[in-house]
Chains A and B, each alone.
Chain A
Amino acid sequence: MERYSGFGLVRHALSHHEQWQRMWRNPTPKRHYDVIIVGGGGHGLATAWYLAREHGVTNVAVIEKGWLGGGNTARNTTIVRSNYLFDESARLYEHALKLWEGLSQDINYNVMFSQRGVLNVAHTMQDVRDTRRRVNANRLNGIDSDYLDADGVKHLVPAMDCLENARYPVLGASFQPRAGVARHDAVAWGYARAADSRGVDLLQNTEVTGFLIENGEVKGVETTSGEIRAGRVGVVTAGNSSTMARMAGFNLPVESHPLQALVSEPLKPVIDTVIMSNQVHGYISQSDKGDLVIGAGVDGYVGYGQRGSYPIIEHVIQAIVEMFPSLSRVRMNRQWGGVVDTTPDASPIISTTPVKGLFFNCGWGTGGFKATPGSGHIFAWTLAKGRPHPIAEPYSMQRFHTGALVDEHGAAAVAH
């Protein structure tokens, strides 16, 4: 693999940038792999990379029905944070955040991770109490987290309406300085390129149509390019996880919902941090290009169409304009939807399944992007050893039968 660097950029400039190598190969599928990963999004590609780097497992294929990173990896609002309430979640997301901090160096690809901080705004007294509790819980877990009062928020985000008579009055906020945003596509491409350089086969335009299961043990997958056999199979297919599980003969506690986001025309810098509001189901940040990136809530019904309803857009825009009156005349450029796999407790599933050798990593719902490196790291360990990583243990799908839920729903400043 060609190493990317500043000198390389200068050298390529001399040849008019015509000598850049392809970032990854387009291999013909082998008949057998040690591990097959179904789903070529950020989580799947990260899994492949950590399998190769941490565990020396390089006979790996990532099977993707479309193109790499074309699903929710390309559709999220790129927010990265780890200020979750419960210990299990704190361990998981902080594990990811620590990997984010060294990621660009690790994979020699600039993922533009920008630790500009994330504010979770409190609009009611109950919000304030919950936020304080969460800040304290974060600190006990070694996660940087501060409570800001309204003046603190006003100081950090001058554009925000912090007057007492605002429609959504700002009473305070939690602030995590190490949180921020990353370039979502670069994450998928960087992991893909790094995994490919270690010999991982990235099989695009190849759809998995079934699993080869013999005596309750997975032996491979059936694809549109024929049968491919493998020792272990990891499924990381987000919104389509239920469909995959049904192919393997079991059900998941997951519902797939449309989740929308939109971006405005590019503006001069106005917001240099990330603002999330649980109450009004809206979050906003400004990309390096200047677009305001706005995330909305999910539609309440099951939907696989990668588009959502207009009332949701209207609702989020109303809320954003109430919080940032100066943005009322900004025009929106693009709007899109993704299919998110939500679980009843809003925590992911990283789990063994009733089929031996078949593992699922899904249920990330509305907040999977931030976990990409951690999810891949943990899932790679799980696939390499054949048993759940200690951080993944609470996230078994068994918890929906035992009742040991990780009930982050509404607890972790997440706009579900």
Chain B
Amino acid sequence: MFYIRCPYTNEYHSEEEFKPCGQAQIRRADSPVSTSDEQWGDYLFFRDNIRGVHHEMWLHLPTRRYFNVTRHTVTNEILETWRMGEEPRYQSDGRGGVIDTRADNDSEEVA
């Protein structure tokens, strides 16, 4: 059972109050007329399906607000939740591990 923090209200609620809506930050393809079949198919059907740190969109059903979740798809650990339009702090390193973008920035500043 996930216990998810809504980034708008800062309240934690159980998974059943939410609906998963698939991969986050998918940019809508331009007009289907001017887009190639390849690009349109990629937009509609092809997903990253990450084994590891995954960015995904969720909907809080009672308040009808969409937000994003960074979750590890093997351990199910939720690393952060973030509002629409914001950028995630944690990224996948492509090998199942986590990259903390802010930690990198901090160390650079110190250096």
A253 touches B46 (CB 8 A): yes
- Range for the number of chain A residues in contact with chain B: 20 to 34
Tell me, yes or no, whether B2 is within 8 Å of chain A by CB: yes
B16: nearest chain-A partner, CB-CB: A311
B41 touches A403 (CB 8 A): yes
Beyond A254-B47, A302-B49, A401-B38, is A310–B1 a contact (Cβ under 8 Å)? Answer: yes
| Proximity bits, B73-109, A CB within 8 Å = 1, else 0 | 1111000000000000000000000000000000000
| Proximity bits, B51-85, A CB within 8 Å = 1, else 0 | 10010100000000000000101111000000000
Beyond A242-B49, A311-B1, is A301–B56 a contact (Cβ under 8 Å)? Answer: yes
Majority DSSP secondary structure for residues of B touching A: mixed
B47: nearest chain-A partner, CB-CB: A255
A304 touches B74 (CB 8 A): yes
Tell me, yes or no, whether A303 is within 8 Å of chain B by CB: yes
A141 to chain B, nearest CB (A): 27
Q: Which residues of B in the span 5-35 have a Cβ within 8 Å of any Cβ on A? A: 15-16, 19-20, 22-23
Cα separation A311 to B61 with both chains bound (whole Å): 16
Residues of A within 8 A of B22 (CB): 255
Tell me, yes or no, whether A305 is within 8 Å of chain B by CB: yes
- Range for the number of chain B residues in contact with chain A: 20 to 34
B17 to chain A, nearest CB (A): 11
B47 touches A240 (CB 8 A): no
Most interface-central of B37, B38, B42, B51 (chain A CB within 10 A):
B51
Residues of A within 8 A of B44 (CB): 344, 400
Cα separation A302 to B52 with both chains bound (whole Å): 10
A60 to chain B, nearest CB (A): 27
A302 touches B56 (CB 8 A): yes
Other A-B contacts than A301-B73, A304-B73, A401-B42, 17 sampled, CB-CB below 8 A, are: A240-B51, A242-B48, A251-B48, A254-B47, A255-B22, A255-B49, A256-B51, A256-B73, A301-B56, A302-B56, A303-B73, A303-B76, A304-B51, A309-B15, A311-B1, A401-B38, A403-B41
